[in-house]
Amino acid sequence: MDINLLVLNIGNSRLAVGAFSRGQLEYSTRIPLAQRADWTGKIAEAWSRIAEFDDAEIAAAAVNAPMIESVEHAVHQATGKSVQWVGRDIDLPIKVLTEDPSKTGVDRILNIAAAYEQMGKACVVVDAGTAITIDCCNDQGAFLGGAIAAGVGICLDGLHQRAAALPRVELQTPAQIFGLSTQQAILNGIHHGVRGMVKELVENYATELGHWPDIIATGGDAAKLFEGWEMVHAIAPDLTLYGIALAYAEHHIKHRT
């Protein structure tokens, strides 16, 4: 579907903004939620890529409900238009098999939907952001659920705050296997700890599925954690934005609007 669509995703720490022109993602950016003064300008910049199209619309998803009203206000200031929200105005694009789909993070569902749309088979999405989620779908594209763990930033902050001798370290790919300093040892622990968790979970998912699923990584820390790792099929920074666009397109095809 050649949609012209502004998409927004409200995460726990950042607002992601993208513009799809004739079905292609032409622009994306991320703004920290704390930098609220920058929202309107960035949204206006994205909107300018598609404002010429009569059918241009706006769709969004959020896991951070307290930010919704502020984002809607910024969108109206920048575009004069209202927002269609996935899960409220727009149907979820895949079947969700969790105990209570309404309480399952919409970003997790959209990530899996976008990955399955590309892969066409069972797959796993690892989203390495404020939290780390490792979710799976089956060969029919149904969301099976997954795991949620503390993100890298939370872990690094916790080590610094709870252990008197440990410094706050910024995430980077470890340079060597043996940590020869405290900083290097922390990086090794975090980096290989996350990879080990992903490997263990995906092995268990594969046992349940009966075959090995491809792994797609997304989120702000994905590149530093997974770049070059043979277990990860691809790193897709804009996966959630594609999921929002997919949900919008399928909803309007389904309802013929």
What tens digit of pLDDT does each residue of 138-180 get?
999 999 999 999 999 999 999 999 999 999 999 999 989 999 9
- pTM (2 d.p.): 0.95
- Domain residue limits, the chain: 5-85, 101-241
pLDDT at 255: 85
**Contact yes or no for 85/62 (Cβ under 8 A):** yes
Q: Is 107 a catalytic residue?
A: yes
Which residue do the tokens 């043979």 mark? 230
Per-residue pLDDT reduced to its tens digit, 3-31: 999 999 999 999 999 999 999 999 999 99
The count of residues in the chain is 257
What does pLDDT average to over the chain? 96
Among residues 114, 136, 115, the alpha carbon closest in space to that of 124 is found at 136
Per-residue pLDDT reduced to its tens digit, 226-241: 999 999 999 999 999 9
Equal fold, 5-85 vs 101-241: yes
Catalytic residue among 107, 127, 135, 238: 107
How many Cα atoms occupy the beta-carbon half-sphere of 22 within 13 Å? Answer: 1
- The domain made up of 101-241 is a member of CATH 3.30.420.40: yes
Q: Any idea which fold 5-85 has?
A: Nucleotidyltransferase; domain 5 (3.30.420)
Among residues 3, 1, 38, 2, the alpha carbon closest in space to that of 17 is found at 38
Rg (CA), the chain: 19
